[in-house]
Structure 1
Amino acid sequence: MRLGGGTTPPTSNPPTTPQTGLVGWATQNGGTSGGGSAATTTVTSASALTSALNSTSAAVIRVSGTINCSGMLRVRSNKTILGNSGATIAGCGFTINGDRNVIIRNLTFRNWGDDAINVEQSATNIWIDHNSFTAGYDGAVDIKRGSDFITVSWNRVYGHDKSMLLGHSDDNASQDVGKLRVSYHHNWFDGSNQRHPRVRFGNPVHVYNNYYSNVRGYGVASTMNAGVLVEGNYFENTPDPYHLGEGSSGPGSLVARNNHFVNSGSGQTGGSVAGIPYSYTLDTPSNVKSIVTGGAGAGRISV
């Protein structure tokens, strides 16, 4: 089923605690369990973290304290990476390159030199949840090169420019069409500038119940025949909440429904979007600001 105006799923009143379970595209294709019940390793140094992430064995990795590092650290399949209270990755990022079944939760990333989290080369079943991102060089969460079945939820991006890119090149249709299916929900884009997300080719991409606060550039851009459903979000002080095309990239399709606007533009829509295959509960749009600011980012969950 393709979406035009469509009907919305049931909405909810503000929960007493934020939703914390896995929802969205990462529940598909067999689901995403990370390291599951594998042995837990606690790391406190860059060398120990690098070794644990690059192991080919399933693992639950706990990050403790601030780890100063550089470059991109490769994350192999079947990993759960959890930040203990205050855990910070400073100066480097994670790359998931062709691997699958990875969970990254409750970490603060700052001052990375490339991307904070890079997902590429047909990586599948990734859940990026309850992290904070600030003051890095390039993307906070970039997903590209045929990656698929990914959920990006309850993260906070602040003091940063390029937030979340989906699809890296107008020339990569052969690898990307039919892939790049991602759910972005309950993220807090807090004074960040652009790419929340910027989408190429993926369809359907689901952007729901996010809070956009003082976004200076634009919120969502649908380009290169992408199909993006933008629903139940809260846009505040965001003059350009969503539009078609971006830079030299031609327009995609974008369906918007049941969004809430405060001192913001009305956005640009057009075309149709493929149906969403998974179940989800849509929070009442006018309540999204309080729900998301109360729950998004690192340090808001017990893991």
Structure 2
Amino acid sequence: MRRTSARFALATVVALGGVTAANAAEPSDAQAPATLAVGTPTGFGAGTTGGAGGGVVTVSDADAFIDAADSDGPLQIQVNGTIQLDDMARVSSDKTIIGVGTSGRINGSGLNIREADNVIVQNLTFSNSDDDGINVEYSTNVWLDHNDFTNPNDGALDIKRASTNITVSWNHTYDSDKNMLLGHSDSNAGEDSGRLNVTYHHNWFDGVNQRNPRVRFGDPVHVYNNYYNDIGSYGVASTEDAGVLVEANYFENTDDPFHLGEGSSDDGSIVARNNHFVNSGSGQAGGSVGSIPYGYSPDPAASVKSIVTAGAGVGNI
């Protein structure tokens, strides 16, 4: 079932926060709303609250954004317009980063959520990164929701190095080759085994080529209610002892929806159920997957295309 959330009058919140890039170092806690994030996460990232309760800043240039994103303590950051980055910008713990209306954009490079806990990124367009759109490593309790990702040099959204308890929801990715990697190396079992638990739901994988996601070690990983159209190489790959539940997704014009192993990586496991296929292959499943430790109610797979195309990406929160 589509996550319901009140549509948010961000212009009103800007007035409430009363803070712009010029004085971003001094947020007005007294006037800050409890949270800028719209809705609540489900799945493995359900405990994420981001910068809730912290001050509100509105930024419109790179220097102000970089300072705010890597500051100490809880903070809610509104991105108004295009932030032009030359390098990956670090995001520290207890942050909410949200685009204003449909104008919020991170261009030229991306976000590095590293050694952080409790981060929300919502309603932003990530374009033309010289690296990843978002990289998550050594981080927990992360919710990445209703963003657009296009034309990264490397991955659109990569999660690795012992990160866990993450939800990736309602994003729209397009013009991307290596889309979403989960677990960066076959040799990193010591850090990654027992971690890399991620929920991917209601994302629109729109003509992207591969890694939707490509998974190592995480078990269980939950991939449900996503819409895949015109996928070039493959949809989901499970490798290196990973266990992936591929459930109630809609695959259209996708010859290889999901398979075991990839490149030189050994096979993982996939349990596939209740998926819908249009002009697509049937996929390769096998092995067993750990039980999903949370309650959820998936939409019927045949309805996922219309639900996701109407609701995913920037401007649809």
What TM-score do you get using the length of structure 2 for normalisation?
A: 0.88
Aligned-residue offset at 1:14: 11
Q: Report the equivalent of 2:66.
A: 50
Distance 2:62 2:309 in 1: 31
Q: Report the equivalent of 2:28.
A: none
Question: What pairs with 1:1-303 in structure 2 (closer than 5 Å)?
Answer: 20-27=39-46, 31-85=47-101, 86-121=103-138, 123-301=139-317
Query: What amino acid does structure 1 have at the position aligned with 2:41?
Result: L
Distance 1:13 1:252 in 2: 30
SS where residue 161 of structure 2 aligns? coil
Query: What amino acid does structure 1 have at the position aligned with 2:45?
Result: A
Structure 1: unaligned runs, 5 residues or longer? 1-11
Distance 2:161 2:134 in 1: 14
Q: Report the equivalent of 2:20.
A: none
Alpha carbons of structure 1 residues 113 and 186: separation in structure 2 relative to 1, 3 Å: same
For residues 64-93 of structure 1, give each alpha carbon's deviation from its aligned partner in whole angstroms, at most 9, with x where no partner exists: 001111111000000000000221111011
For residues 219-242 of structure 1, give each alpha carbon's deviation from its aligned partner in whole angstroms, at most 9, with x where no partner exists: 000000100000000000000000
Q: Report the equivalent of 1:5.
A: none
Does the 8 Å contact 1:164/1:195 carry over to 2? Answer: yes
Distance 1:214 1:35 in 2: 37
Distance 1:22 1:13 in 2: 12
Aligned-residue offset at 1:17: 9.1
Distance 1:258 1:15 in 2: 23
Aligned-residue offset at 1:21: 3.0
Q: Which has the higher contact order (CA 8 A, sep 6+)?
A: 1
Alpha carbons of structure 1 residues 98 and 13: separation in structure 2 relative to 1, 3 Å: closer
SS where residue 47 of structure 1 aligns? helix
Does the 8 Å contact 2:3/2:39 carry over to 1? Answer: no
Give the number of aligned pairs: 286
Give the share of equivalent positions with the same residue, in percent. 59
Distance 1:56 1:15 in 2: 32
SS where residue 292 of structure 1 aligns? helix
What TM-score do you get using the length of structure 1 for normalisation?
A: 0.92
Does the 8 Å contact 1:152/1:185 carry over to 2? Answer: yes
Distance 1:110 1:148 in 2: 25
Structure that is richer in strand per residue: 1
SS where residue 56 of structure 1 aligns? coil
Alpha carbons of structure 1 residues 238 and 77: separation in structure 2 relative to 1, 3 Å: same
